[in-house]
């Protein structure tokens, strides 16, 4: 499936649709986000965070690698949103320092992982694979695979 996004409102609508379709499983729900620098991976994660009721300002975890946001609503399907940016990692082994294996065990976790190709050697199959492409008119094409 592909969706063309031209505005932040459309991005929020798409995030709302995605979150509505997610069903927690036995372990964490892993969503991977692929796209060039500036494609909108963090912007999409911000939209997901808004949908989930995160009040904090969400910024890219490029330098800290991981940020964890507690989801306070008792109606949320998830307890935590974990935002990981693997851009600076050399391999999946480096995810261990973030406690990634433990994060994967908790069904209350929704993990949004940017740059999955950097850590593909140790990633389990994601629940959702998202690819974001930038069009010439600055629209974004979100593809699900």
* Alpha carbons 68 and 52: distance in angstroms, whole number: 13
Contact 141, 133 (CB under 8 A): yes
For the chain, the three-class secondary structure string (H helix, E strand, C coil) is: CEEEECCHHHHHHHHHHHHHHCCCCCCCEEEEEECCCCCCHHHHHHHHHHHCCCCCCCCCCCCCCEEEEECCCCCCCCCEEEEEECCCCCCHHHHHHHCHHHHHHCCCEEEEEECHHHCCCCCCCCCEEEEEEECCCCCEEEEEC
- Domains of the chain (ranges; CATH) run 2-144 (3.40.50.300)
As given in the structure block, the two tokens for residue 129 are 């694979």
pLDDT along the chain (145 residues), means of 10: 94 95 93 95 94 84 80 79 93 89 95 95 93 95 94
**Scanning the structure block, which residue is given the tokens 């991976």?**
41
């Amino acid at each position: 499936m592909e969706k063309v996004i031209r505005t932040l409102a459309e991005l929020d609508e798409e995030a709302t649709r995605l979150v509505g379709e997610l069903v927690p499983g036995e372990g964490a729900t892993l969503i991977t986000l692929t796209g060039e620098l500036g494609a909108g991976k963090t912007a999409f994660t911000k939209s997901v965070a808004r949908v989930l009721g995160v009040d904090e300002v969400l910024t890219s975890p490029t330098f800290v690698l991981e940020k964890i946001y507690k989801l306070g609503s008792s109606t949320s399907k998830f307890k935590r949103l974990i935002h990981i940016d693997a851009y600076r990692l050399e391999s999946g082994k480096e995810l261990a320092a973030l406690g990634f294996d433990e994060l994967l065990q908790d069904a209350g976790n929704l993990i949004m992982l940017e740059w999955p190709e950097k850590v593909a050697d140790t990633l389990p199959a994601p629940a959702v694979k998202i690819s974001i492409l930038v069009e010439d008119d600055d629209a974004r094409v979100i593809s699900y695979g």
